[in-house]
Chain A
Amino acid sequence: MESPKAQIVERPETGGAMIILLLALIIMLAIYTLTSKDLLHGVIAMSAVSLICALLFTILQAPDVAITEAAVGAGVSTVIFVWALRHSKRRDDEGE
């Protein structure tokens, strides 16, 4: 092959700690989503998970995916969830 092969470059270390911190935050928000008694709080936590995912994608050098995740997760998906909760008049979970 005539073209030179690009090497495998390691990510700088400051990016690594940020990624671990954001993933831990996503896990805590996901656990809160599934165990909250009030479903509206769960929907807002899902929106926050999408927001932190978008930030994570920006750090991982994927700007197209970040724009899509932010627009879809915090926009359309939250509107659909709030519609579903509103048309059913249930705000509280009972048991599991």
Chain B
Amino acid sequence: MIERALLFTLFLIGFYGIVGKKHIIKKIFGLNILNNAAVILFILEGSRIGTDAPIMDGQASAIVDPVPQALMLTAIVIGVCITALSLALAVHLYRVSGSFDIDTIRMRIQDEA
């Protein structure tokens, strides 16, 4: 129960990073933290029903649920793909407008247009 409350806090910290911060790199930090929180939630819930890792070296063992682990592998790799692409976009925006602050970028792009 306490673990779920801590994960809820981590979700909200990641969400605050995306919405509340004005620096683009900090928004990308928030996206990464949100991704991590979602992955921890699934692995935590899946591990409640067993005690062993899902490697069948014996015959009778109470293993942990292996399905969320397989799904979270995909989720982690897609998270790093999103981070790479968004950082490339952020660096391109910096090159075009000279700043990382989103208000400054919006003003400079509106002045150019």
Residues on A facing B (Cβ under 8 Å): 6-9, 11-12, 19-20, 23-24, 26-27, 30-31, 33-34, 39, 42, 46, 49-50, 53, 56-57, 60-65, 68-69, 72-73, 76-77, 80-81, 83-85, 87-88, 90, 93-96
Contacts and interface: CB of A to CB of B under 8 A. Distances in A.
Q: Taking chain A's interface residues, is the majority helix, strand, or loop, or is none over half, making it mixed?
A: helix
Given A34-B17, A53-B36, A20 B2 contact: yes
A8 B23 CA distance: 46
A8 B10 contact: no
Contacts of A26: 10, 36
Given A61-B53, A62-B47, A87-B91, A30 B13 contact: yes
18 contacts: A11-B51, A12-B51, A33-B33, A34-B16, A34-B21, A53-B36, A53-B40, A62-B53, A65-B69, A68-B73, A77-B80, A77-B83, A80-B80, A80-B87, A81-B83, A87-B91, A90-B100, A96-B23
Contacts of A46: 29, 32
Contact of A9 (B49, B54, B84, B91): B49
Contact of A60 (B9, B10, B44, B84): B44
Interface of B: 2-3, 6-7, 9-10, 13-14, 16-17, 20-23, 25-26, 29-30, 32-33, 36, 39-40, 43-44, 46-55, 62, 64, 69, 72-73, 76-77, 80, 83-84, 87-88, 90-91, 94-95, 100-101
Given A60-B47, A61-B51, A80-B87, 7 more contacts: A9-B50, A23-B6, A30-B10, A31-B13, A39-B25, A60-B43, A95-B22
B87 to A, nearest CB: 4
Nearest to A60: B47
A6 B64 CA distance: 11
Given A27-B10, A49-B33, A72-B80, A9 B62 contact: yes
